Structure 1
């Protein structure tokens, strides 16, 4: 995964830091591309019929996926975006 992130989005090295990642960037961008590549990789390595079905009918399956993240992490990302839009001022 780390190699893929480095190659695709120049975000490598995050996994080597024991979970410490740079959250200053937009962590919601490229979700669809990342998901598609993960499923493609799974198909390549396992020959999964389910993965093939999903990829063959991507337009139908894509809306069924939901991004899940801890509430506090999501809240922190929203707070950081508000600060950015407000010109760096602190958020209450």
Structure 2
């Protein structure tokens, strides 16, 4: 019913998007919350930062201060049917864009 996956970092893609002004949020961050198929490490980092800020959690601060050693301990839980639906939605959007580009 679900897949357990390591949380992946996407350094090159994140850097590319940070330099595109249309993909930046007010604080100079890429909107990683809207796409649940990528940006896992960045999304997790932002969630833990928010938790630390709002709760003053010592554990959250420890994780952020030692991010490289803690990141491999996290797992992404992805429902199989949700992944399938996201893939179908993406394929549908790509097909619509291809048709629009072809003038149909």
TM-score bracket, shorter-length normalisation: 0.5 to 0.7
Equivalent-residue separation in structure 2 for 1:45 and 1:10 (angstroms): 20
**Structure-to-structure mapping, 1:27-42, within 5 angstroms:** 27-42=36-51
| Residues in 2 aligned to 1:45 and 1:26: alpha-carbon distance in whole angstroms | 24
- Aligned-residue offset at 1:69: 2.3
| TM-score when normalising by structure 2 | 0.49
Q: Per the alignment, in what secondary structure is the counterpart of residue 51 of structure 2? A: helix
Describe the SS at the equivalent of 1:45.
Answer: helix
Is 2:68 aligned against 1:71? no
Normalized per residue, which structure has more strand? 2
1:14-33, aligned counterparts within 5 Å?
A: 27-33=36-42
Q: Paired residue for 2:54?
A: 45
Structure 1 gaps of 5+ residues are 1-5, 12-24
Query: Which has the bigger relative contact order, CA under 8 A and spacing at least 6?
Result: 2
